[in-house]
């Protein structure tokens, strides 16, 4: 969960489509281990943002390993100075680490999933629903059916979630290129795929020039933020020669997703498959997965 902090030190959420902060005391859909920390009941002076990560998985056997039962509270300071007098949070059931985003190395989490382990640093992206990484990886692999020796491209790769599993499927004779703009996420992705020499992590902001500079892949996963991939990037991707045999487009925003899918359909691509996941329960958000095949 990510909380915004007002100048007064009070904690809340940003209002829909706004930077204004709505103060809160409880969030009814928070994971219990986060709720127990009572983050919003304290004043967080000098803090801009708080990110709390609890992989405590009593309700999802096998998603996380036993050693990862701790909560990480990562705080982003307002200014450059050191933070003093942070509130005491936590209970005996939760091992707590307070990490600041600028203190490198503190507060990293290890999450085990489908037999692989992932390091996630504060600020790096990780799917927010605890069942989502496993569900989405399974759906993407089913949809793309990666074959040994294929070349895969993972755009908006985060800490390498899809790259690691694609690399297992394509094997040492194949390749995976992962493109991600966040430096911390790229550092995690390098660690998370360190035993997979077929993976190359590229720290770059996705643009038509970056895409045109890539060798044409057989399969592509693209998982952009809410703004979507956009016309210019998608057209550059579809123009690669030969075109990828299949693209898996994951989205958490139906509006930009529909806009981008329209661009692909108008260019003659087809959408043989579309799935929706209720990954953000009790909110209006849904996660979508489309498969796109070339003309
Ligand atoms: C929805 S997350 C997906 C991450 C990853 N696929 C996963 O499932 O864990 C989107 C990722 O894209 C990255 N990102 C956002 N805009 C980008 C851009 N223009 N170029 C490259 N990466 C970008 C973000 O830092 C974030 O890690």
SS3 161: helix
The two three-digit tokens of residue 41, written as one number: 């009941």
Distance 78 CA to ligand 1 centre (A): 24
Class level of CATH domain 132-293: alpha beta
pLDDT at 81: 67
Residues having CB within 6 Å of any atom of ligand 1: 125-127, 156-158, 161-162, 179-182, 185, 205-206, 223-225
pLDDT at 93: 47
pLDDT at 56: 52
- Provide the residue ranges of all domains of the chain, joining segments of one domain with +: 2-107, 132-293
Q: Spot the catalytic one: 252, 264, 289, 292.
A: 252
pLDDT at 61: 41
Determine which residue's CA is closest to atom 14 belonging to ligand 1.
156
Phi first, then psi: give them for residue 141, nearest 5 degrees. -65, -40
pLDDT at 57: 45
Residues sharing a CB contact under 8 Å with residue 104, sequence separation 6 or more, in sequence order: none
Distance CA 193, CA 164 (A): 6
Residue from 144, 180, 285 to probe ligand 1 pocket by mutation (most atoms less than 8 Å from CB): 180
Distance CA 3, CA 40 (A): 8
Distance CA 137, CA 160 (A): 11
> Measured between alpha carbons, how far is residue 268 from residues 180, 182, 264 in Å?
28, 33, 7
pLDDT at 99: 59
Distance 225 CA to ligand 1 centre (A): 6
Distance 122 CA to ligand 1 centre (A): 15
Residue 27 appears among annotated catalytic residues: no
**Averaged pLDDT, groups of 10, the chain, 295 residues long:** 92 91 87 82 89 60 45 77 72 54 61 87 84 94 98 98 98 98 96 98 98 97 97 98 98 97 98 95 91 98
Residues in the chain: 295
The reply to whether the predicted model has a pTM over 0.95 is: no
């Amino acid at each position: 969960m990510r909380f915004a902090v007002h100048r007064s030190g009070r904690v809340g959420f940003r209002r829909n489509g706004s930077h204004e902060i709505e103060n809160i005391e409880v969030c009814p859909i928070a994971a219990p281990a986060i709720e127990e920390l009572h983050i919003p009941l304290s004043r967080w002076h000098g803090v801009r943002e708080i990110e709390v990560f609890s992989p405590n998985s009593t309700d999802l056997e096998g998603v996380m390993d036993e050693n990862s039962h701790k909560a990480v509270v990562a705080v982003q300071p307002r200014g450059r100075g050191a933070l003093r007098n942070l509130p005491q949070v936590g209970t005996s059931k939760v091992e707590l680490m307070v990490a600041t985003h600028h203190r490198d190395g503190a507060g990293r989490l290890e999450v085990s999933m489908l037999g692989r382990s992932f390091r996630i640093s504060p600020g790096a992206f990780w799917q927010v629903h605890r069942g989502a990484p496993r569900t989405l990886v399974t759906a993407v692999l089913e949809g793309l059916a990666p074959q040994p020796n294929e070349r895969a491209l993972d755009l908006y790769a985060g800490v390498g979630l899809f790259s690691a599993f694609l690399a297992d499927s394509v094997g040492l004779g194949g390749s995976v290129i992962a493109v991600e703009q966040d430096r911390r996420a790229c550092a995690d992705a390098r660690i998370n795929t360190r035993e997979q020499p077929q993976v190359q992590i590229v720290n770059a902001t996705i643009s038509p020039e970056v895409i045109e500079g890539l060798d044409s892949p057989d399969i592509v996963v693209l998982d952009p933020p809410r703004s979507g991939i956009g016309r210019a990037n998608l057209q550059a991707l579809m123009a690669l020669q030969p075109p990828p045999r299949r693209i898996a487009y994951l989205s958490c925003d139906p509006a930009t997703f529909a806009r981008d899918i329209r661009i692909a359909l108008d260019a003659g691509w087809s959408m043989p498959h579309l799935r929706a996941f209720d990954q953000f329960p009790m909110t209006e958000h849904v996660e979508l997965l489309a498969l796109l095949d070339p003309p």
